[in-house]
Amino acid sequence: MTEMMNQLKKIGIIPVVVLNDVKDALPLAERLMKGGLPCAEVTFRTAAAEESIRTMARAFPDMILGAGTVLTTEQADRAIDAGAKFIVSPGFNPKVTEHVLKKGMPMTPGVCTPTEIEAAMSLGLDVLKFFPAEPSGGLAMIKAVCAAYVNLQIMPTGGINAQNVRDYLKYDKIVACGGSWMVSGSLVKEGKFDQIEQLVREAAGIVKEIRG
């Protein structure tokens, strides 16, 4: 694993963020840093994603910022230009993945079947996103596939929350879990940044409890 993946493994939980307004980017980044999860996957599901990443990356250069839901090479280029340090996609798109890897950037495409895992591994990847984690079999499925692909490490997202994240974090093939429960769209929209910081702090506490 790369140094950045090792850092993400130490952080343990990656807040998955959908930002509709760039003005929320800075207060959100501040609360993530203060609460103890100095990372985020900012999804390209909104027009505000690119500028939000740029704003967060400038204010907090040490934050490990990824761009999520990257579906095209053009989005990948914009995300990288904005300061994203890794690129995430919900599925495995060889064209986008090869494009990002050629630029020397880390990419974690989403997979949820052995066939997709092998296709992604054939490009040299050994850390993959398992998505959508809970509907696709959750930890039991991850353990089953990791038994076959012994060098594979997983970043699960989708349906992970404060109740079930402990079980994922206990499994040593999990790099970090992605989740939106501490940074939900409604909390951001309503400007409930105190509550976000509290949920982030609790999430960071769970990582410490499980991983030390």
Active site residues: 41, 129
**SS percent in the chain: helix, strand, coil, step 5:** 50, 15, 35
**What is the rounded CA–CA span in Å between residue 110 and residue 125?**
12
Run of H or E residues at 153: strand 153-156
- Residues between 82 and 101 with contacts to ligand 3PG, criterion CB under 6 A: none
The yes or no reply on residue 185 touching ligand 3PG (CB under 6 A) is: no
Q: Which residue in the set 159, 164, 201, 210 belongs to the binding site for ligand 3PG (CB under 6 A)?
A: 159
**What is the rounded CA–CA span in Å between residue 105 and residue 2?**
11
The yes or no reply on residue 130 touching ligand 3PG (CB under 6 A) is: no
**Least Cβ distance, residue 104 to ligand 3PG (angstroms):** 26
**What is the rounded CA–CA span in Å between residue 41 and residue 36?**
15
| Residue closer to ligand 3PG, measured from CB, 125 or 160 | 160
The yes or no reply on residue 109 touching ligand 3PG (CB under 6 A) is: no
Residues in a beta bridge with 107: 87
| Residue closer to ligand 3PG, measured from CB, 4 or 162 | 162
The yes or no reply on residue 158 touching ligand 3PG (CB under 6 A) is: yes
**Among candidates 154, 148, 106, which has minimal Cα distance to 131?**
154
**Least Cβ distance, residue 118 to ligand 3PG (angstroms):** 22
Question: Which residues, 6+ apart, have CB-to-CB distance to 51 below 8 Å?
Answer: 22, 25, 82
The yes or no reply on residue 153 touching ligand 3PG (CB under 6 A) is: no
Which conformational region is residue 43 in: left (phi greater than 0), alpha (psi within -120 to 50 degrees), or beta? Answer: beta
| Residue closer to ligand 3PG, measured from CB, 75 or 180 | 180
The yes or no reply on residue 157 touching ligand 3PG (CB under 6 A) is: yes
| Residue closer to ligand 3PG, measured from CB, 36 or 138 | 138
Q: Which residue in the set 8, 11, 13, 16 belongs to the binding site for ligand 3PG (CB under 6 A)?
A: 16
The yes or no reply on residue 178 touching ligand 3PG (CB under 6 A) is: yes
| Order of strands, sheet of 64-68, starting from the edge strand that comes earlier in the sequence | 153-156, 127-130, 107-111, 86-89, 64-68, 39-43, 13-17, 177-179
Sites of contact with ligand 3PG (CB under 6 A): 16, 131, 157-160, 178-181
